[in-house]
Structure 1
Amino acid sequence: MSILEVNSLKKIYTTRFGGNKVEALKNVSFSVEEGEYVAIMGESGSGKTTLLNILAALDKPTSGVVSLDGQNLSKIKESAVSAFRRDNLGFVFQDFNLLDTFSIEDNIYLPLVLAGKNPSQMERRLVPIAGQLGITGILRKYPYEVSGGQKQRAAVARALITEPRLILADEPTGALDSKSTDELLSLFSEINRNGQTILMVTHSVKAASHAGRVLFIKDGEVFHQLYRGNNTNQQLYQKISDTLTMLATGGDRR
């Protein structure tokens, strides 16, 4: 069953004073099935960041429809957007977006606090997540006291604790060393196997090779897609690399 539907999405930005128009997205259509792990790739300026902002209900398309569980994101009232985002979407960012004045535990609890959950309910949710992510021992520490990999695990915990329909990850390995990257990608795969739907925007071929499907964006359109099928991570890595070469050299859409 599709939980995310993107149909004929178009986004045009008008420069100041209306002098020029920039077409960031031309005609993007795709769907994400419940339990899928999808990576989106493309060169800088391809439109993937614009697409992510629209999927996150941070921006609205010029035309076209984005639906999450059948609800048109553009039709949500401005006053209800924050609550919708908090209740349905989990976010994992490249720079973690943790508050240094809050402990790791309080950073993770923050979306539940904003949603008005009671402390005992928050603790019941956190205990198994912290155990799964291996961060139980750092919950009372502050972000500046832990490593980048631990910060990103805390960010993943914050995304998971709201029990979101969809996790949106924006370059989640971008600020991590190779060891922390491997750990995070293994973690994402485990979370996905447990049924969590993930959509990740990334420049990293290694990160994308862990996904079940890879969408390639070029000039504001879905240019090509790859399915994992029976491919290993290494085999998918090679196919992704070949496709990126095709994109860079002006190959035909497939």
Structure 2
Amino acid sequence: MAILEVNNLEKIYTTRFGGSSVQALRNVSFSVEAGEYVAIMGESGSGKTTLLNILAALDRPTRGKVLLEGRDITSISEKELSAFRRNNLGFVFQDFNLLDTFNLMDNILLPLVLSGKKYHEMNQRLKPLASMLGISELLYKYPYEVSGGQKQRAAVARALITHPKLILADEPTGALDSRSSDDLLQMFGRINQSGQTILMVTHSVKAASHAGRVLFIADGSVFHQMYRGNSTNEEMFQKISDTLTSMATGGGLHG
């Protein structure tokens, strides 16, 4: 069953005085099944960040619809948007977006505090999550006291603690060293295997090679897509690299 449906999405940005316009997205359509792990790739300026912002209900399209479990998120009122995002979407960012004045535990629990959950329930959710992510011993430390990889683990915990329908990850390995990136990607694999749907925007071929499907975006459109099938991560890495080379040289792939 499709948990996310993107139908004929277009986004046109017009300059302040209406003198010129830029089309960031052109007729983008795709769906994501419940439990899928999808990576979105494309060069800078391809439209993938605009797409992610619309999927996150941070921006609205010029035309088209985005349905999350059948509900059109593009028509939700501004008043309801914050609660909708908090209750349905989990976010993992390149720069972690942790509050330095909060320890890791308070950062992780913040979405539940804002939702008015009781302390007992928050604690029940936190303990197994912190254990799974290997940060139980770090919960009372502040972001500036831990490594980049540990910050990202806390950010993943914050994204998962609301039991979101969809995790949106924006370049989640972008600020990590190689070892921390490997750890995070293995963690995403385990999280996905537990049934969590993940949509990740990335420049990293290595990160994308862990996904079950890769969507390639060029000039605001879905240019091509690739399914893992029985491919290993190494085989996916090579296929993705070949596709990106073909895109860069004007090859004849089609979405």
Q: Could you tell me the TM-score, scaled by structure 1's length?
A: 0.99
Partner of 1:187: 187
2:86 match: 86
Residue deviations 1:57-104 (CA, integer Å, cap 9, x gap) = 000100011000000011211100000000000000000000000000
Partners of 1:51 and 1:76 lie apart in 2 by 17
C-alpha distance in structure 2 between counterparts of 1:16 and 1:79, whole Å: 25
Structure 1, gaps ≥5 residues long: none
Per-residue deviation at 1:253?
3.2
Aligned match of 2:109: 109
Q: Deviations over 1:103-127 (max 9, x none)?
A: 0000000000000001111000000
CA distance in 1, matches of 2:87, 2:7: 23
> What whole-Å deviation, never above 9, does each CA across 1:139-184 have from its counterpart, x for those lacking one?
0000000000000000000000000000000000000000000000
Provide the residue aligned with 2:8 in structure 1: 8
For residues 185 and 231 of structure 1, what CA distance do their matches in structure 2 show? 17
CA distance in 2, matches of 1:170, 1:204: 11
2:209 aligned partner: 209
Same amino acid, percent of matched pairs: 74
Distance 1:231 1:15 in 2: 45
CA-to-partner distance for each residue in 1:11-70, whole Å, 9 max, x for gaps?
000012011110000110000000000000000000000000000000010001100000
Q: Secondary structure at the match of 2:17?
A: helix
Partner of 1:247: 247
Q: Which residue of 1 aligns with 2:175?
A: 175
Q: Could you say which residue in structure 1 is the equivalent of 2:144?
A: 144
For each residue in 1:187-241, what CA deviation from the matched residue of structure 2 results, as whole angstroms up to 9, or x when unmatched?
0000000000000000000000000000000000000000000000000000000
Tell me which residue corresponds to 1:26: 26
Question: How many pairs were matched up?
Answer: 254
Give yes or no for contact 2:43–2:203 (8 Å, CA) kept in 1.
yes
Task: Identify the residue that residue 55 of structure 1 maps to in structure 2.
Answer: 55
- Corresponding residue for 2:66? 66
Q: Aligned to 1:223, what secondary structure does the other structure show?
A: strand
The aligned runs of 1:30-41 (5 Å cut-off) are 30-41=30-41
Deviation of residue 252 (structure 1)? 1.9
Q: Could you tell me whether the CA contact under 8 Å between 2:95 and 2:175 is conserved in 1?
A: yes
Unaligned 5+ runs, structure 2:
none
**Matched residue type, 1:36:** E
C-alpha separation in 2, matches of 1:15 and 1:76: 25
Question: Equivalents in 1 of 2:15, 2:116: separation in Å?
Answer: 40
Task: Give the aligned partner of residue 231 of structure 2.
Answer: 231
Q: Distance in 2 between matches of 1:53 and 1:75?
A: 15
TM normalised by structure 2 equals: 0.99
